Every structure is written in structure tokens, then in C-alpha cells.
Amino acid sequence: MAASRRLLPVAGLVLGLVFLAGCRGLVSGGSPGPGPGSGIQLTVTSAGSGTGTVTSTPSGINCPTTCSANFASGTQVTLTATPGTSYTFNGWSGACSGTAGCTVTLTSAETATATFVATMQSINHIIFMMQENRSLDHYFGAMREYWAANGIPDQPFDGLPQFNNPSQPAATSPGCDPNFSEPFPPNDCQTSVNSPAVASFHMLSQCVENPSPSWNESHVDWNMNSPLSGTATMDGWVRTAGHDARTGNPIFNDINGIRAMGYYDATDLPYYYFMASKFGTSDRWFSPAMTRTQPNRMYLMAATSAGRAYPLPPIHLPNKTIFEALNDKPVSWRVYVTDDQNVPLGNGTELGMYTFASSHLDHFAPASQFLTDLTTGNLPSVVEIDPGFAAGLDEHAGVDPAAPSGRIQTGSAYVATLINALMKSPYWKDSVFVLTWDEGGGFYDHVPPTPMPSPDGIKPSTSIDLLPGDICTTTTGPTCDFVYTGYRVPLIVISPFSKKNYVSHTPADYTAILKLIETRFGLAPLTQRDAAQFDMSEFFDFANAPWMTPPTPPAQPDTMPCYMDHVP
């Protein structure tokens, strides 16, 4: 009896709870509320490379904080997707489809997935760096050999002909006629029926005497026997390199110009080959003008050389630069200078050729600060990293046989430290690093320059800086105006948004870097040249962001021999 009396109050409590629950059901129409453990569950997930929020009506879901909730059977739940800043909503899947609002009538558990993707506006930092004087065939001509050796899927890439099709012989250029011998001058490099065919070959030294990429030589490279012809025979490389060796002061060792046909491969430049294969590259990426470094770098700043074919004398150009356009917006920018022994730091840089630079010297910083700014949250929106001309880190071919410079492995190892630091930094998630070279350097390339609009209608002339007797001063031809690019140069586009193992075949010159900046930040083009370029968006997969977790590249060795007293 005692035990039974103890159980009676418990049984009464249970009956009371059942009764009260029934009363609540009658008051609310018999439907349970959206609480844990009651009703039907609706779950929201997100996908894609972007971020955003999803909320519900009736309330209950506010994802990513609360991504599931229970609702009464038969409830119509409307989900609203709101993309995060610089992202876009790409559509629903699962319980809903399309890009409009999502309304689900719940009769059983459902899941709806909202896809948010990145856009060009998701790129918040554009970093570009331009190394020195290397053609595409000279650096990346053996790319398909590297792919085959490393299990990378093959695809079209117009490198050296012998690597495009292994059944083809190596590319050749006519050499210097051996009947023309010392002393130099007057015995220049000449070609004739006695000229040997000089085949492209693998360079064994990371140092090499400098061939000339200047105005006259670049036009002879185009067509050795008829530089003003509209037909590009692409056969003057050895002759111009031999001429430069024989007429220089001092006379170079490679008097026969053999060095122009040398190339490097992945055993020499493993870092570059790896990065170009993992990320994006191009086989139709050109320097802007058929001449040497300084005018081409003017195009990088102002999309024109203002008619100049040679280095600027000690004056400053008034042309509007990409950095002045950014400043006007305003968009933050900085130039990091590798040769930081220059005081002020703007001296010797591309931007230093313009009047704008002198009033904005506070925007220049040592390149070492780039590494610091990656970790302290101070990286600007647009960055140029100026190469190490004086420090020998720019990969320029040597200019003095007694003092080898431009060690390619030393330069590429330096570039690797910058890119690797970016990939390990918080800025990786929304950055692009564009690496290219300023012109071909007089090294062999088999693809002719391509037509491009004149930037501003200004033609090269003796009234600007062509010298009497220069090519195009007495007679003219199609390449006597700035309506052709220069020669092809290597390119690597590195970003979490970069397509994997992507090769662009779109003809462009590197004023496309300006077009990328202009498109992202809403700037007007500087000239007709950058206006004509693609905006580089074809390199990116914003929907999937393939490299949010970057790859681990190989170390770049610096162990190749360095000599310039013989070839190879």
C-alpha cells in the first residue's frame, strides 16, 4: 500500500501534462510550434567560392549562424539569399532551383543549398611584377616536355617547335658567315649561302652575354633581309646577337651570336614551370613594342611610350599613369622597390620616369616591406614590385663578361620568396599576382609580333629619339609605327581564382595588366592600347576558386654554373 500511494501522484502528473498539451493543441489549431524536437526540419547549406547569408520567413533560419529549424507541417517557408560584399548569389539547388526566391512547403524534411560565387570584384589586391629580357621560347619553350614528364595533361601550348611536335627538328636561325672573321669592326656578322643553321639548344650556364633587343635589332629579328617588310620571317636572331658581340665595347666572347638560340627548361627553372602549370599562362602574351626595356616599361605605366623607341633622357614625362588614375579614384597603391639603395626610392623605377612620381614619393617602399605588409594588414589594393636591376635579381642577361650578372636562378629564387609569402598570408584569399617579363631580350622566339592599335597616334621619328640611319628613318614599313607588339614574353597568373593548368591563346600585350586594374576598380583606359586589351578575366574561375588552398611549389635552386666566356 505504501508503494502504491507513492505512485499515484506521479501518474496524476503524467495525465495532467497530457491534458495541458491537448489544451495547447486546441488553442493553436493543433499544430506544434517550430521548436527543437517538433515539426519538420528545413536545413540550409551553402556552396561555391563566395560567402553570404540565408534568412527565412517565418523566422528560424539565419545561416551561417543558424542553418536549420523545425516548422509545422504544411508551413510555407521563404528563404532569402544575400551575398556578401564583392560576391554574388549564383542560384539554389536541392529543395529549390533557379536564382529567384526559394519557397518550400514543408511536408517532409528538406535541404536547400545556396551557391555564392566570387566575381572580379572579389579581387581586392592586384600585385604585378615584371622581370627582365626573356622571350617565351627562351624560358617556357620546353613546357610540354615538362608536362609529359610530370603527368600533367597535355594541351596546345605553342612553345619551341621541337617540343610542340617531337617529330619536328629543333628550330634554327641562319648563323654568321665564317668567311667574315676578325678584326671587329669592320667584319660584322653577315649571312650568306655559307651560313650555318644554328639550332636552338639547352643552355648550361645561368649567365649569358646580353643580346640586344633594341629598335634596329628587333626589326632585323623580324626579317633579316627585309626589316621593313610586312612579312615576318623571324630569322635575324643570330645575326643581331653576333653584330652586338662584334661591335660592343668591349667585344663579347660569343662573336657568332649562338647565345640567341639558347633556352632553359624545368631542370633550370622548376619553380616557374611548376607555377605556370598549376596556375595560368599564355602562348600569345607579348611585350607592347618592338624595342628595348625602357619604352616597354613606359607602356606598363602609361599604355604608351609617347613615341619613344629608346631610353628616356633626363626628363620626366607628363603622361597620366595607372597609379595617377588610381590616386584620383582614390584606390590605395604602392611601389615596392628591390633596389632600395636608391634615395629617394622612386629613382630608377618605371614610375620615376613621370612627373607624377615626384609628388608621391611616400608611395614607394623597400621590397622587404612587402613581406612585412603581408603580415600586418597594410597591403594596398594595387602593388607593383620593382625588380632588382642593380642587385642582379632581375634576370637580365649579362652586360659585362668580367662581372656576370642576371643569374636566372638567383632572380627566380627571389621572385619565389615574394609569391610564397603571399600564398601563406591572409591576403591570399582575394589577391592576384601577375608575373611577366618586360621584353624578349633578343632571345629567339618563333611567333611574330601581332598587330595592335596605336596608343595615341604618335609615331617614332628622329624628332623624338630615332637616330639618323636607324631603321624606319629613310624608308618605312608596317612595323615603323607602334601598331605592332613586341615579341612574346612569359606570363604566370597566380591567384586562388586562377584556373588550373590554363593556357590562354588570346593575343594580348601586357597593357592587359592595366585593363585588369581598370576593370576591377572602375577606371577609364589611359590610351587606345590598353582599351583594346582583354581584362584577363578568362584566367579566372570565380565560381569554384580552384586554389583557395595553394599548392606547394618546389624550391628554386641556385646551383647552375655561371659563366659567359663560352656557349653553351
In terms of domains, do 156 and 74 share one?
Answer: no
Stretch 297-318: mean pLDDT: 97
Q: Does residue 535 sit within a domain?
A: yes
348: pLDDT strictly greater than 90 = no
Q: Does residue 186 sit within a domain?
A: no
Asked whether 568 and 203 are in contact (CB, 8 A), the reply is yes
Lowest mean pLDDT among 155-159, 194-198, 379-383, 547-551: 194-198
In terms of domains, do 100 and 129 share one?
Answer: no
167: pLDDT strictly greater than 60 = yes
- Give the CATH number of the domain where residue 67 resides: 2.60.40
Cell 523566422, residue located: 59
311: pLDDT strictly greater than 50 = yes
Q: How many helices (H) and strands (E) does the chain have?
A: 14, 22
Stretch 233-260: mean pLDDT: 95
Spell out the SS3 assignment of 21-82: HHHHHHHCCCCCCCCCCCCEEEEEEEECCCCEEEEEECCCCEECCECEEEECCCCEEEEEEE
Kindly state the cell numbers that stand for 377: 594588414
Owning domain of residue 54: 40-118
In terms of domains, do 406 and 490 share one?
Answer: yes
What per-residue confidence (pLDDT) applies to 185?
A: 84
Q: Does residue 205 sit within a domain?
A: no
The pLDDT-based confidence of 171 (bands split at 50, 70, 90) is very high
pLDDT tens, 28-66?
333 334 444 579 999 999 999 999 999 999 999 999 999
Pairing of strands 364-366, 262-263: unpaired
Kindly state the cell numbers that stand for 105: 512547403
- Give the CATH number of the domain where residue 449 resides: 3.40.720.10
User: In terms of DSSP H, where are the helices of 332-457?
Assistant: 355-358, 367-376, 408-423
What's CA 407's distance to the chain center, in Å? 22
What per-residue confidence (pLDDT) applies to 37?
A: 53
What's CA 303's distance to the chain center, in Å? 17
Of 118, 140, 157, the position where a domain reaches its end is: 118
279: pLDDT strictly greater than 60 = yes
In terms of domains, do 113 and 159 share one?
Answer: no
User: Residue 428 CB: number of other CB atoms within 10 A?
Assistant: 20
Kindly state the cell numbers that stand for 312: 628616356
In terms of domains, do 283 and 393 share one?
Answer: yes
What Cα–Cα distance (Å) separates residue 370 from each residue in 30, 417, 419? 66, 11, 11
Cell 650568306, residue located: 192
What per-residue confidence (pLDDT) applies to 39?
A: 93
290: pLDDT strictly greater than 60 = yes
Q: Does residue 226 sit within a domain?
A: no
What per-residue confidence (pLDDT) applies to 481?
A: 97
Asked whether 100 and 355 are in contact (CB, 8 A), the reply is no
User: In terms of DSSP H, where are the helices of 429-568?
Assistant: 512-521, 528-531
Asked whether 247 and 238 are in contact (CB, 8 A), the reply is no
237: pLDDT strictly greater than 70 = yes
417: pLDDT strictly greater than 50 = yes
In terms of domains, do 319 and 288 share one?
Answer: yes
Residue of 181 and 70 predicted with greater confidence:
70
In terms of domains, do 87 and 160 share one?
Answer: no
What per-residue confidence (pLDDT) applies to 14?
A: 35
Asked whether 427 and 379 are in contact (CB, 8 A), the reply is yes
Of 118, 135, 153, the position where a domain reaches its end is: 118
**CA distance linking residue 152 with residue 462, whole number of Å:** 50
Quick one: what percent of the chain has pLDDT higher than 90?
Answer: 86
In terms of domains, do 98 and 131 share one?
Answer: no
**Averaged confidence pLDDT in the chain:** 92
Residue of 423 and 17 predicted with greater confidence:
423
401: pLDDT strictly greater than 80 = no
What's CA 240's distance to the chain center, in Å? 31
Three-class secondary structure of residue 279 per DSSP: coil
Q: Does residue 512 sit within a domain?
A: yes
In terms of domains, do 46 and 97 share one?
Answer: yes
Q: Which residues of 472-484 are buried (b: 16+ CB within 10 A; e: fewer)?
A: beeeebebbebeb
pLDDT tens, 452-510?
999 999 999 999 999 999 999 999 999 999 999 999 999 999 999 999 999 999 999 99
Q: Does residue 428 sit within a domain?
A: yes
Quick one: what percent of the chain has pLDDT higher than 70?
Answer: 93
Q: Does residue 557 sit within a domain?
A: no
What per-residue confidence (pLDDT) applies to 342?
A: 78
What per-residue confidence (pLDDT) applies to 368?
A: 96
Inter-axis angle of helices 367-376 and 408-423, to 10 degrees?
Answer: 20
Question: What is the pTM for the complete model shown?
Answer: 0.91
Q: Does residue 492 sit within a domain?
A: yes
In terms of domains, do 465 and 532 share one?
Answer: yes
User: Residue 503 CB: number of other CB atoms within 10 A?
Assistant: 18
Domain count, the chain: 2
In terms of domains, do 525 and 505 share one?
Answer: yes
| Residues whose CB falls within 8 Å of the CB of residue 352, separated by 6 or more in sequence, listed in order | 346
pLDDT tens, 85-143?
999 999 999 999 999 989 999 999 999 999 999 999 999 999 999 999 999 999 999 99
| Residues whose CB falls within 8 Å of the CB of residue 422, separated by 6 or more in sequence, listed in order | 127, 374, 428, 431, 433, 494
What per-residue confidence (pLDDT) applies to 464?
A: 98
What per-residue confidence (pLDDT) applies to 402?
A: 65
In terms of domains, do 102 and 159 share one?
Answer: no
Stretch 427-443: mean pLDDT: 98
